[in-house]
Structure 1
């Protein structure tokens, strides 16, 4: 039996979302953005357990094997899709399955579909290695807070802000200009949680010295969480405030905010019981 196969598909204006059935009966999801970039999953579930994200709502079952990572790409390409790139930003924390993800990223580069990834940053020893040594095409580090209590609440099983920013700051002087340009921070705006001016200012104070771009996302609401997005007016105000603080801020693309496969919406199902 093949390592993974497409078990279902949903299409919308920007995204094609695939349910991927694994050899043991578990399922994860992958998303094709804009017709040429595939977002793949690295684990069945996630141990970080961010309360706003559907991917870790059922906890962590296991990491994916290298064959299962590759199969997500191969199954979508078998539909006639010509991929320009891959991002390991779906279900799971890539650094919690680091060995397999490094092997996968290396495989992607060798075949001409360079891979980027998104991580909450832990363990920090792995983050330092990914920053300096892994042949990725982009590394986005999810921060989502400016103060330690907010970080602990929103990204509960990940490094503290102090540990995260220290690791990044220590690594940056050792990066080439090209590799540094492929590194970014992410801030997901959630109403009443981290969208206040004090929280944004605290984040800016930490981020400005790093001189890295910031991806500002608005929460995609999911059935597994009561948390809500900030609304467009507040999102634009937060964007303006961070820019005024001296940060280079990038707004979400339409594909990233679609309900069909936007950030935080992908799910994982544990192995199905034998019938």
Structure 2
């Protein structure tokens, strides 16, 4: 390590660290979204074109690739201008190193679980989305801005059938209700339970597009479901919902580089155990 430091110098190492951090944060922002799929598709296409242009005497393709490299920044800005605009507009509002105290505090999770249980008991449908690493500004912007403190009473009032925004989703950002009445992308999976309505399909869709947690309350069956990464945990009670939310949010700390406690079971193992018990499908 000292030999590497002597060769590069401290400014070069700082430069590399900054670039690595920027790339990491960008990948974290687009992880699980369609932008990530576009990036992978572009990289695969460019890599394949570059390879065959070097191996075979394809003069025109090689010339085209040389011109492409000089314009790659402009191409990226054009393709991802909407995502870049949203990220820049949120830079001052979202911390670079987000903490979990707001989103995973005991009071917040209790209020969410109590609200979901109360709505299910009254057969009132609901859809609550909790932002994690991937920013949900594109969905917040088309909803009704609230920026209010999370409480059971506020959540129940939003989803009451007499509320004009009860059909949309509530999005939670940094421990606060950012917006309500938000419209989410529907899942495109064909093997989704045919009994799922638009609310549950939207919950699955947002969990596939992003790393957000989605809670869906069925007004027909009075059941509570949690969607994470396109997977569905069904027939949850308030206690089970709160436990899964806490474990899901705690995985962010582990993914950020902190070593998980050896006494804790990884979250996915707990979910698999829950699914094997027949509590979810």
Fold shared per TM-score above 0.5 = no
Q: Flag the structure with more relative contact order, 1 or 2, with Cα contacts below 8 A and sequence separation at least 6.
A: 1
Q: Which has the higher strand share?
A: 1
Structure possessing the higher radius of gyration over alpha carbons: 2
Give the TM bin, normalised by the shorter chain.
under 0.3
